[in-house]
Amino acid sequence: MAMIFDMFRASAFVFVLLFVAAISLEVQGRDDESLLRLVASASSSAGTVGGETRIRDRPFESRKSSDDSCGPQISIETPACDVVGKGNGYELRKYPDGQIWVETLVENSTYNLATSIGFIRCFLFISGGNSKNMEIEMTGPVHITPVLSGAGYKTGFFVPSRFKSVNDLPTPTDPKIKFNVHKEAVMAVIGPFGGFPGDFDYDAKFSQLKKYLDKDGLKYDESSAVFAGYSSPFEIRNRKQEVHVKIVS
């Protein structure tokens, strides 16, 4: 029964992407039908491999996680980091200075709508929606950041490490896409955990993480909370998600 439910949620996610794409075209007045075609292509090219449903034949799905990455190991590149400590129920990771993320903010929106729109914007950028029509390989995880002041969410894709600076990247055609160069930080991480979590699930994990950190006397910046999803929306089993928060002392 759980397997059937997960398959239903994955199918529903594809439908939501298509629905949100249609809304985006109407609301933003865009005539770029490539958005619909890209999402439809992703949904129609989903196939089953080893019991898991995944996107087939994507040109940016071949890079492996870097040797110095930590956290869930997946088939695409993830940010380099070092595990610098472990607590009861969490670990501490140090992420180096200079890692680049492509991000977009969807303000005044629900979690489901904001994350869907944000994902599509970032996906279009790496699929050629830029000044060089360049395809950039997909990476993990996808970051979803609650924005406390704007009642919305920011979606972010990690930029592959072969790009050493923002100057190496093409300019996004969508002005809502921004580059963010992260500073060195130590992040407390809870996870990985499975399923198809929504905002309430992520918030529950964050509350649990804060209890662990409070117990150990670690100070953190609550506004820096990030929901990290490592699994494709088309993967059904063995999904991996985490919650991160920045340690300040």
Q: What is the pLDDT of residues 180-196, one digit of tens each?
A: 999 999 999 999 999 99
Q: Determine the straight-line distance between the first and last CA of the chain, rounded to whole angstroms.
A: 45
In whole angstroms, give the CA distance from residue 134 to residue 132: 5
Amino acid at position 56, single letter: R
User: Tell me, what's the pLDDT at 39?
Assistant: 47
Residue 67: predicted pLDDT: 55
Percent of the chain surpassing pLDDT 70: 73
Pair (159, 43) in one structural domain: no
Say whether both 227 and 106 belong to one domain. Answer: yes
Same domain, 111 and 146: yes
Q: CATH number for the domain including 77? A: 3.20.80.10
Beta carbons within 8 Å of 145's beta carbon, 6+ residues apart: 153, 154, 155, 156, 225, 226, 227
Is residue 174 domain-shared with residue 246, that is, in the same domain? yes
Residues of the chain with pLDDT under 50: 1-36, 38-66
How many domains would you assign to the chain? 2
Q: Which residues pair with 47 in a beta bridge?
A: 54
CB burial of 201-220 (b: ≥16 within 10 Å; e: otherwise) equals ebbebbeebbeebeeeebeb
Rounded distance between C-alpha atoms, residue 172 and residue 73, angstroms:
29
Beta bridge partners of 142: 157, 229
